Amino acid sequence: MASIVTGSPAAVTVALEHVLFNTFGSVMIYPIRKIPIGLSRMLARLSLRSKIYPLAYIASIFYILPSFVIFLFH
């Protein structure tokens, strides 16, 4: 709605693209929604046992995996 007030066609185009991107993303993810929910529950159960599991998860997802991808495609 804010993009319509600006009167800029570019702003309206970007806003429409944003809505379409979110809609199609939701439609694609909805059928497999049980997978990330199950994985998060599993990580929560593991985190109750030891604090090393969430630390290992954070390190692997935010440091090791991106470093590997950069190394692989560099």
Walk along the chain (74 residues) and give the pLDDT tens digit of each residue: 677 778 788 888 888 999 999 999 999 999 998 998 999 999 999 999 999 999 999 999 999 999 999 999 98
Res 1: pLDDT: 67
Instruction: Judge whether 54 and 47 are in contact, CB under 8 Å.
Output: yes
Query: What is the model's pLDDT at position 11?
Result: 84
Letter for the amino acid at 67?
Answer: S
- Report whether 25 contacts 32 (CB < 8 A): no
Residue linked to tokens 């599993």? 42
Residue 12 is encoded by which pair of tokens?
Answer: 């309206």
Q: Measure CA of the first residue to CA of the last residue in the chain; give whole Å.
A: 42
pLDDT, position 52: 95
Cα–Cα dist 52/46, whole Å? 9
